[in-house]
Structure 1
Amino acid sequence: MIEPLRVINWATGHTGRMVVRAVAERPNYRIVGAFVYNPDKVGRDLGDICGIEPLGVVATNDRQQIMDTPADCVLFLAGAENDVPGSIADICALLASGKNVVTTAANFIYPRSLGAETEAAITKACMDGGTTFHGLGIMPGFFAESLPLLMSKLARRVDCVIASETLAYDKYPSAYQMFDLMGFGFAPDDPTPAFANVELVGETWRHSGMLMADALGLPIDRIENFRDVIVTDRDLNVAAGTIRAGTVGAMNFGVRVISGGEVRIVLQHFTRMADHLAPQWPRGHGWLLEMQGEPEIRARIEIGAHDSVMPTDDACMATAMHAIHAVPYVVAAAPGILTLAAVPPLWGVDAFHVGRAAASAVTQHESGHV
C-alpha cells in the first residue's frame, strides 16, 4: 500500500480553508501540521477552524515547530504580497528543512522575476534541503501561463497572446480588498487606494508576463502596467458596502509585454460592480484566451454554475485544487525551482473518485447552510 503524502497547511484564509477540506477527503494525503497567523486560531483543531470534523492537527504560529515536523510538502497559502521578504524567508527555511513547497502567491509564480538574489536564495534552499519549489494559481498561475503555452502548439504564427479574466465582485464581502486595495468607490484620480499606483497593479501580472516571454523565447523590451476605470452613474449597494455615483464602479487592469517594439503578450482583468457598467468590456465569470496569428484561436472558459451565488469562491476552489493536484509531481521532481513552463502532464484523477455526497456536504459548510 502506498503511504499517503504528508502535507502541512500554511495559512487558513479563504482559499486555505478550502484546501484543508479538500485534502481531508482524499486518502492519498495526510495533514500533519498547520501554521496560522491569527492568534485566535492557535491551539485549535484544524478541522474546527475549517468547518469540518476534527482532524487531530493543532494549529500553531510557532515556525520552528513547523520546521521540525516531518512532511513531504507544505502548501504555502499566505497572502505573500503583504510581506514579500518575510514570505521568502519562510519559504527558504521550509525548503532547507527538507520540505517541498507549493505556493499560490502570485508574486512567486516565477522567482526569476523577483531578481537574481531572490532566485539564488530559493535555489540554494532547495539544494540544501533536497527539495522543490513551485508557484501556481488560477490567474495568475494557470490561465495566464499553462493554457496559452499549451495552445501555442497549434499555431503556425503567433502575433499576440491575450489572456483576460472577467469576474464580478458585487457579491465579494471584503471592504478592504474592494475599496482600500482595488479602489472601487473612490474618484478615478484619487491616489488613496493601493491600485492607484499602477506599478503595484503590475505586480499581479508582471511575473507571469516574464515567464511567458522566457518560455516562448521573446526578448522583453519592457513591461507596461495599466489600469482603466469606469465610474458608475448611480449608487450601488454591494456586499462590501456602498459605491456612490461618480466613483469607480468598473475597472480593467493588467500588463502588456513589449518585444521587438510590439505588444506580444497581454494579461488583464476585467471587473464591474453592476452589469450595466462598461458594456464594451467582456462579461461573464471566467477567462478568455485569444491567440492572434495563424490560425486565430479563441477559448472561453467559464467557472461555476450560471446561478452561482459567489463566482469568486468557485475561482478560489479551482486555485485550491490546482495546488493540491500539484503535490505529487512536486514531491517527485528534482531539487530546484519548478516553473509552470516545466511541469509534467497533470490530470485531476482523484477528482473522479470523490463522492457527490461528500462534496455536497463541504459546499454546504462553505455556504453556511449547515
Structure 2
Amino acid sequence: MKKLRVIQWTTGKVGKLSMRGILDDPRLELVGVYAYSAEKAGADAGPLCGRPETGVRATTDIDALIALNADTVLYTPFMADLDHAVRLLESGLDVISTNLFLNVGGIQGETRDKLAAACERGNSSLYITGVNPGWINTMVTAMTAVCRDVQKVSIVESADVSVYESAETWQALGMGQPEVTPGVAGLAEFGFTTFAESVQRMALALGFDVDEMEFVVEHQTASERVDLGWFCMEKDTIAAIRGGWNAKVKGKTVIESRVAWYLTDKLNGGWVFDDDHYHVVIAGEPEVQTRIRFVPPEHWGNHEWDTMTAMPAVNAAHNVAAAPAGILTLQDVGLPCAPAGPWESERRNAPIG
C-alpha cells in the first residue's frame, strides 16, 4: 500500500492527537504542519504532540504547505476557516475534517456550495467525521445489514463532558446560564445542527426519503455550585443538556439521534445517565440492541478522550483517497479501520530492552 503524504492542520486539543495518529500509522507520512499561532511556527511536529523530533517543522505559510505535493489534510481547528478549506480542496488536497464548519453555517447552503465547487475544481474530496457525528453513524448504519426489515434506528449518547475542557463549547450550548431563554434554546439548536446532518447521511445510506427533521432539547440545572477549575457553574444554572434530532417519513420517526451531556451529575430533577457511552437500538427483524463503553487506560488525562474524535479521521485517510471527488457520504467512504496488522508487526519486530 502506498504511503499517503499527510499535512496536519493545527495542533490544538484534537490536532495533537491526530498528529500522534499520523506518526503512529505506517500507512501515512507526516510531511507538513499548519500552525495557527506564529509562536508555533518553526517548532518540530514531534514535541508539539508529545513525541520525539520528526524533522517536520510547523509553519503559517499555506503556499509552502500546498507546494509539498501532499495527498491529504487532517483538518482539526476549533474554528473553521472556509477560505483555507476552499484553497486546500482547489489545490487537489483531500480534506478530512473533525471540524463541523458550524461557525460558517455547517455543511449546507452557501458553505456547502463553495466547498463542493472547490472539490470539483481540485478533483478532491471532503469528508467530515469524528466519533459522533462520524464513527458511530458509520457503525450503526453497517449494523442494519443483519436485518430483513428496519423500522427505526436509535442512537443515544451519554457522556460526562467535564473531561472536555472547552469553556467556549459549553457556553455556546447555554451551560452556566441561569435559565433557558429563547436565545439559549436557539444556540442549542444551532450547536446540534451537525447531528441533523449526520442523521441525514444515515438516512441517505439507508434509503429513507426524509421529509421532516424534528429538533428536541431539554436542559437541567446544577443543585449546587460546581467549579471544574476551567469552568464554573453557580447553583441553579444550566449544567446538563439532552437533545437531538428525529428524522421522519410521513410523520413516523425512522432515525433518532440523542446526546445526554452533563458537566456534573449534581443536578436538580431526576435525570439519570447511562454508564455506557452509546445505547443503540435497531427496531426491525431482528431487533438489534447494543451498548458501547469506552474504557480508557489508566494513564489517560482529560484531553486524551479526544482520541476518539481524532482517530476516525486519521484511519479514514486511505478510504477517502480511494473515494470519488466531492463531499463524501457514508457509502463513499465505507468502513475505515485501524492498521492493527502493521502495528502488530512493528511490536514483534521491535528491539528487546
TM-score, length-normalised on structure 1?
0.82
More divergent stretch after superposition (328-337 vs 52-61): 328-337
1:255 to 217, 241, 245: 245
Equivalence for 1:174: 166
Partner amino acid, structure 2, of 1:197: L
Matches within 5 A, 1:320-359: 320-350=310-340, 353=343
Matches within 5 A, 1:234-245: 234-245=224-235
Q: Which runs of 5+ in 2 are unaligned?
A: 349-353
Partner amino acid, structure 2, of 1:92: V
Matches within 5 A, 1:217-232: 217-232=207-222
Q: Which runs of 5+ in 1 are unaligned?
A: 358-370
Distance (Å, rounded) in 1 between the aligned partners of 2:239 and 2:266: 10
Count of residue pairs the alignment pairs up: 344
**Per-residue deviation, residues 178-229 of structure 1 (Å, max 9, x unmatched):** 3x22222221224675x65243133131211221222222222221222201
Partner amino acid, structure 1, of 2:226: L
CA contact (8 A) 1:201 1:254 kept: no
> CA offset at residue 306 of structure 1?
8.3
Please give the root-mean-square deviation of Cα atoms over the aligned residues, in Å: 2.9
CA contact (8 A) 2:96 2:129 kept: yes
> CA offset at residue 308 of structure 1?
7.8
**Per-residue deviation, residues 332-367 of structure 1 (Å, max 9, x unmatched):** 33333331233234332347616679xxxxxxxxxx
Distance (Å, rounded) in 2 between the aligned partners of 1:297 and 1:308: 34
Distance (Å, rounded) in 2 between the aligned partners of 1:196 and 1:338: 28
CA contact (8 A) 1:202 1:226 kept: no
* Structure 1 residue 137 corresponds to structure 2 residue 142: no
Distance (Å, rounded) in 1 between the aligned partners of 2:129 and 2:162: 26
- Segments of 4+ in structure 1 off by > 4 A? 117-120, 190-193, 306-312, 354-357
CA contact (8 A) 1:167 1:312 kept: no
Partner amino acid, structure 2, of 1:159: Q
More divergent stretch after superposition (166-175 vs 271-280): 271-280
Matches within 5 A, 1:69-218: 69-79=68-78, 82-83=79-80, 86-87=81-82, 89-107=83-101, 114-115=108-109, 118-143=111-136, 145-178=137-170, 180-190=171-181, 196-218=186-208
Distance (Å, rounded) in 2 between the aligned partners of 1:218 and 1:336: 22
> CA offset at residue 14 of structure 1?
0.8
Equivalence for 1:305: 296
Equivalence for 1:368: none
Partner amino acid, structure 1, of 2:230: A
CA contact (8 A) 1:172 1:310 kept: no
CA contact (8 A) 1:231 1:245 kept: yes
CA contact (8 A) 2:180 2:219 kept: no
36 and 25 in structure 1: CA distance in 2 versus 1, 3 angstrom threshold: same
Equivalence for 2:351: none
> CA offset at residue 36 of structure 1?
1.9
> CA offset at residue 70 of structure 1?
0.9
Partner amino acid, structure 2, of 1:63: I
Distance (Å, rounded) in 2 between the aligned partners of 1:305 and 1:74: 27
TM-score, length-normalised on structure 2?
0.86
Distance (Å, rounded) in 1 between the aligned partners of 2:295 and 2:272: 20
Which secondary structure state, in structure 1, belongs to the residue aligned with residue 164 of structure 2? coil
Distance (Å, rounded) in 1 between the aligned partners of 2:49 and 2:296: 24
Distance (Å, rounded) in 2 between the aligned partners of 1:239 and 1:169: 14
Distance (Å, rounded) in 1 between the aligned partners of 2:299 and 2:216: 30
Partner amino acid, structure 1, of 2:199: G
Distance (Å, rounded) in 2 between the aligned partners of 1:297 and 1:124: 40
Equivalence for 1:17: 16
Which secondary structure state, in structure 2, belongs to the residue aligned with residue 197 of structure 1? helix
CA contact (8 A) 1:45 1:55 kept: yes
